[in-house]
């Protein structure tokens, strides 16, 4: 049944028991050594043992649920079953209380061995509200309950019995009521003695903090799982906007590899066909990592694609993208970008660099070609943008590497960066491999350099080999 009484039995004002009361029982037990009443001593000792045993059983139920990583409902069931076995009650309910909305959720409800399913939040009934307000136990007998029902102030759940005794105590965490435990006896009035009330109060006080911690742990795990699922969706979405296939052009071999430091990535690359003889190549690196960087990356990626369809001037493309980012960037993020047009026939790469690392070029003999560099500033920061525009040649039999700083700035356990010199040595040693093989070799070198240290930045490499 679900009740809505709003009167409290004055006899229960002092029913709640804390540690001082328990110590009082032990004190009385010690005093009986001066009394010739061993029966009283045995009875007092039994009360103390019963209380402590019941408290430990309930707390162990919660801890058992935590240790086996049970869901919260399983923990409520374990605690509720222990309460049912401890008291002379055919009905046991454990109800969570939200003081902000003044609503309750009956996580555990059982009547004569049958579990009752009462899902969701409900407006708190007046009996439980009184407990929440006073933070004291409340008990009603059959006559009081019938008067409340006849007055329309209490509702009986269809299919359940009217109790002859209803007892409720608060679940306190500090000074706040976080729930109510209620017992009902369906057969007799005054079914719960003062000792029962004291024991239930003591048990509830003992288990409340553990149960609240278990609830918070369970909620944290639920939110983490939800976040993981959302991040996986974000990862799949990000992967879907990157090139599904590398360009297949006679005389060229393309390779690309992107490894995020987290689930999603702030780096990106793209290959945008312009016509039969030219290809737009893009590589970028957002200033942050994780989901914020991934969102900013998706925005930049879309803007580059849109602007590339409007003009064949790489400088104008970057200027337009920068203008849009300035208007949309409220988080203070920026992106470095290199955008180039590759002419298949000549091997010419006409590129503009906005704060990104310049490319490395290796000729057919394994020698590095000097690449001119001027000032280039990241996108999304300054209105009047300086861009480094260059035109270089990919030699026949040579290659070029475009990369993010996750390659050169990867550190080992003592903080030593992998460095540009090591990158050049790796390229020269693996130049006979395919473009994809060279990307893989660079990643393997970075992993070996970092050892057990997880990489701290997104890693992206694009290799273009010309035969």
Same domain, 329 and 407: yes
pLDDT at 57: 66
Reading the block at residue 428, the tokens are: 């020269």
Report if residue 4 sits inside a domain.
no
End-of-domain residue from the set 222, 254, 289: 222
Question: Any bridge partners for residue 463, and if so which?
Answer: 255, 401
Same domain, 175 and 205: yes
Rounded CA gap, 168 and 182, in Å?
4
CATH number, domain with residue 256: 3.60.40.10
CATH number, domain with residue 69: 3.30.450.40
- Quickly list DSSP for 197-236: HHHHHHHHHHHHHHHHHHHHHHHHHHHHHHHHHHHHHHHH
Same domain, 331 and 365: yes
Same domain, 120 and 262: no
Q: Of 264, 188, 252, nearest to 395 (Cα)?
A: 252
Which letter does DSSP use for residue 136 in this model? S
User: Which of 28-37, 82-91, 362-371 holds the top average pLDDT?
Assistant: 362-371
Report if residue 228 sits inside a domain.
no
CB 439 within 8 A of CB 262: no
End-of-domain residue from the set 190, 222, 254: 222
Same domain, 64 and 210: yes
Rounded CA gap, 41 and 329, in Å?
77
Same domain, 344 and 281: yes
- Residue 44: band (very low, low, confident or very high) from pLDDT cuts 50, 70, 90: low
Rounded CA gap, 209 and 39, in Å?
36
Domain residue limits at 159? 10-222
Residues in Cβ contact with 182 at an 8 Å cutoff, skipping those fewer than 6 apart = 91, 92, 93, 95, 128, 166, 167, 168, 169
Report if residue 389 sits inside a domain.
yes
What proportion of the chain, given as a percentage, has pLDDT over 70? 82
Percent of the chain as helix, strand, coil, to the nearest 5: 40, 25, 35
Q: H or E segment at 165? A: strand 165-173
Same domain, 134 and 218: yes
Same domain, 336 and 277: yes
Same domain, 49 and 157: yes
Average pLDDT, the chain: 83
Instruction: Output b/e per residue, 398-414; b: 16+ Cβ within 10 A.
Output: bbbbbbbbbbbbbbeee
**Is residue 10 pLDDT above 60, yes or no?**
no
Query: Does the predicted model carry a pTM greater than 0.75?
Result: no
Q: How many CB atoms lie within 10 A of CB 73?
A: 12
**pLDDT mean over 153-162:** 77
Rounded CA gap, 18 and 255, in Å?
71
Ranges 305-309, 328-332, 363-367, 458-462: which has the least confidence: 328-332
Same domain, 216 and 135: yes
Report if residue 236 sits inside a domain.
no
**Is residue 205 pLDDT above 50, yes or no?**
yes
Report if residue 232 sits inside a domain.
no
Q: Pick the more confident residue, 118 or 442.
A: 442
Report if residue 168 sits inside a domain.
yes
End-of-domain residue from the set 154, 187, 222: 222
Same domain, 401 and 255: yes
User: Rg of the chain's alpha carbons, rounded to an integer?
Assistant: 36
- Quickly list DSSP for 9-23: -GGGTT----HHHHH
Report if residue 416 sits inside a domain.
yes
Report if residue 185 sits inside a domain.
yes
Same domain, 134 and 268: no
**pLDDT mean over 369-375:** 95
CB 180 within 8 A of CB 171: yes
Q: What's the number of domains the chain is made of?
A: 2
């Amino acid at each position: 049944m679900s009740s809505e009484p709003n009167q409290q039995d004055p006899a229960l004002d002092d029913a709640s028991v804390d540690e001082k009361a328990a110590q009082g029982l032990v004190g009385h037990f010690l005093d009986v050594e001066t009394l010739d009443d061993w029966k009283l001593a045995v009875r007092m000792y039994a009360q103390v043992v019963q209380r402590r045993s019941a408290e430990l059983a309930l707390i162990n139920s919660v801890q058992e649920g935590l240790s086996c990583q049970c869901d919260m409902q399983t923990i409520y069931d374990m605690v509720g079953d222990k309460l049912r076995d401890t008291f002379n009650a055919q009905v046991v309910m454990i109800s969570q209380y939200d003081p902000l909305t003044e609503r309750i959720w009956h996580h555990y409800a059982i009547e004569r061995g049958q579990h009752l399913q009462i899902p969701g939040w409900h407006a708190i009934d007046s009996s439980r509200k009184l407990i929440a307000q006073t933070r004291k136990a409340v008990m009603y007998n059959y006559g009081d309950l019938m008067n409340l029902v006849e007055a329309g102030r209490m509702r009986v759940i269809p299919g359940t019995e009217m109790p002859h005794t209803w007892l409720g105590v608060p679940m306190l965490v500090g000074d706040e009521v976080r729930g109510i435990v209620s017992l009902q006896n369906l057969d007799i009035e005054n079914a719960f003695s003062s000792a029962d009330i004291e024991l239930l109060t003591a048990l509830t006080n003992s288990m409340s903090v553990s149960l609240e911690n278990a609830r918070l742990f369970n909620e944290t795990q639920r939110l983490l799982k939800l976040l993981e699922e959302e991040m996986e969706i974000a990862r799949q979405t990000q992967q879907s906007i990157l090139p599904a296939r590398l360009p297949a052009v006679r005389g060229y071999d393309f390779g690309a590899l992107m490894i995020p430091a987290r689930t999603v990535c702030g780096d990106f690359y793209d290959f945008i066909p312009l016509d039969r003889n030219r290809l737009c190549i893009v590589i970028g690196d957002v200033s942050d990592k994780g989901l914020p960087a991934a969102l900013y990356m998706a925005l930049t990626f879309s803007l580059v694609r849109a602007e590339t369809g409007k003009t064949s001037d790489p400088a104008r493309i970057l200027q337009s993208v920068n203008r849009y980012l300035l208007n949309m960037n409220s988080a203070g993020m920026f992106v470095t970008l290199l955008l180039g047009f590759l002419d298949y026939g000549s091997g010419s790469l006409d590129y503009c660099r906005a704060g990104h690392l310049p490319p490395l070029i290796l000729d057919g003999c394994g020698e590095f070609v000097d690449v001119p560099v001027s000032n280039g500033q990241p996108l999304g920061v300054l209105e009047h943008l300086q861009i480094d525009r260059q035109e270089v040649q990919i030699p026949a039999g040579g290659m070029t590497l475009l990369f993010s700083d996750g390659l050169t700035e990867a550190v080992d356990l003592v903080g030593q960066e992998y460095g540009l010199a090591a990158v050049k040595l790796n390229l020269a040693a693996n130049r006979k491999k395919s473009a994809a093989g060279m990307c893989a070799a660079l990643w393997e070198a970075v992993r070996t350099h970092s050892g057990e240290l997880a990489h701290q930045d997104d890693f992206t490499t694009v290799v273009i080999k010309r035969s």
